[in-house]
Amino acid sequence: MNELDKEEITRVGPGTLMGNFMRQYWIPALKSTELIADAPPTRLKLFNEKLIAFRDSSGRPGIFNHECPHRCASLFLGRNEKDGLRCIYHGWKFDVNGQCLDMPNVSPNPNIQSKIKAKAYKVLERSGVIWVYLGESKTPPLFPEIEATLLPESELVVDFMLRKCNWLQALDGEIDTSHIGFLHWGCLDAQDIPEGHPLEHIKDAIPQYHVCETEWGTHYSAYRFINGEKEIYWRSANFLYPFWTQTPQGEFASNVNARAWVPLDDENTMFIYFRWTKRPNYQIPLKNGLAPGGNKPMPEYIDNSTDWLGRWRLKADASNDWLIDRYAQSSGLIFSGIDNIHLQDQAVTESMGAIANQLNEHLVSADLMIAKTRKVILKAARDFRDHGKTPPGLEHPEVFMGARSGYFITPPTITWGQAYKDQVQTAIRPKLDNK
């Protein structure tokens, strides 16, 4: 990666290559439960833009630029009342579409009032999440058919977690297949893992895998021969435009998940994890009665604040060394010494700095998925900027349904492409919410 590539792929503010590209897609922004009808508005930062979000008296969500179009006072201070948000400076009131409803400090003039609008963005709400379209097109794109995001709310778990680093290094960590046997499961011995177990791949420190570009982004399938080379154990994962990943954390047939890495600004990212409630969890081999990746099923949060970056913050961060336990590390209880798999990823990606210096990297064969994904992201974004080419998946959102991740076993006679295709065709498809 050269200096230009690094600058263009990491910066996400208005007018930047990646910022403009990502704005063409629907963006998951908040949990539905974060907005209560007639409650105070919430500060929201996306792509280095300061926004506010609120829910009106009728239950409709709205997302605005936080500046009142009159004198630029922050609408975060506004009164949420009677199906509109009223600026406390001069009383101007706006509905969820940004239309000015009232100008009490001005002589009545419908012609002026009808022309005044707050900068509002198109919003939709589904599966317990509020989505926003930040692009300039008057007609938003179709909703992306990413399977996990289409599940009914009753069958879906959604977690939000702030990560204090650039979106790219957070996403890179998701598609890095070789770190798992060290960072997460480094204390497991090969004899601890039965043949055919989902963690069988960590017996091989040097991964063998195929990587390719797809309609939805990129794909990798890591593989190893098992059972006396009579079978192949596969682990497949994906990057999906513009910032989604699917991880191989379960059996392919039922592993319905999607993970968004939404840039809040250049140095902060919101991790949003969608997963099917009926996705079974596999049993992790124990070492000394403990799970080698840690025993905490979820990281601990601190209370939300009203700051621009005050939502979904974790207790563990750089200020407390991500709660690393050096005794657990040195004694072999937990390889990293950090008790939680998500926190382990958070620690290493945040430790790189707010924006990692990819110019100092030395990528090797184990990093093929990372290199390929960066390349296709940059190409798609530059094609949009330089040639007006429609970003992938916008005109045909159904391409995302071809992406599924997980592990499976096949005879060695079946080729990689055919093996993946067969698994997609026979995968369990939960009933989706197609509203």
Work out the average pLDDT over 134-161.
Answer: 95
pLDDT band at 208 (very low <50, low <70, confident <90, very high): confident
C-alpha separations of 58 from 51, 81, 195 in Å? 21, 10, 56
Residue-number span of the structural domain to which 352 is assigned: 150-426
Neighbouring-strand partners of residue 273:
159, 259
**pTM recorded for the entire structure:** 0.94
Alpha-carbon gap, residue 155 to 427, rounded angstroms: 17
| pLDDT attached to residue 108 | 84
Number of domains in the chain: 2
260/117 same-domain check = no
The pLDDT-based confidence of 360 (bands split at 50, 70, 90) is: very high
Q: Higher-confidence residue: 338 or 249?
A: 338
pLDDT tens sequence across 67-78:
999 999 999 999
Q: Is residue 364 part of a domain?
A: yes
Are residues 229 and 305 located together in one domain of the fold?
yes
CATH code for the domain in which residue 332 is found: 3.90.380
Say whether pLDDT at 435 is over 60.
Answer: no
Closest to 185 (Cα-Cα) out of 103, 258, 277, 291: 291
Domain-located, residue 17: no
> Mean pLDDT over residues 127-146, rounded?
95
- Verify that 209 and 344 share a domain, yes or no: yes
H-state helical runs in 214-324: none
80 plus 154 within the same structural domain: no
Residue 424 has pLDDT above 60, yes or no: yes
Same domain flag for 163 and 189: yes
Report, as an integer, the average pLDDT of 212-236.
91
Residue 143 lies in a domain: no
Same domain assignment for residues 406 and 289: yes
Percent of residues, the chain, with pLDDT higher than 70: 92
pLDDT at 195: 64
User: What beta strand segments (E) does 134-253 contain?
Assistant: 156-163, 208-213, 217-226, 231-240, 244-246
Mean pLDDT of the chain: 92
Q: pLDDT band for position 139 (50/70/90)? A: very high
Q: In this structure, is residue 68 part of a structural domain? A: yes
CATH number at residue 86: 2.102.10.10
Give residue-wise pLDDT tens across range 99-121. 999 999 998 887 888 999 999 99
Res. 205: pLDDT tops 70: no
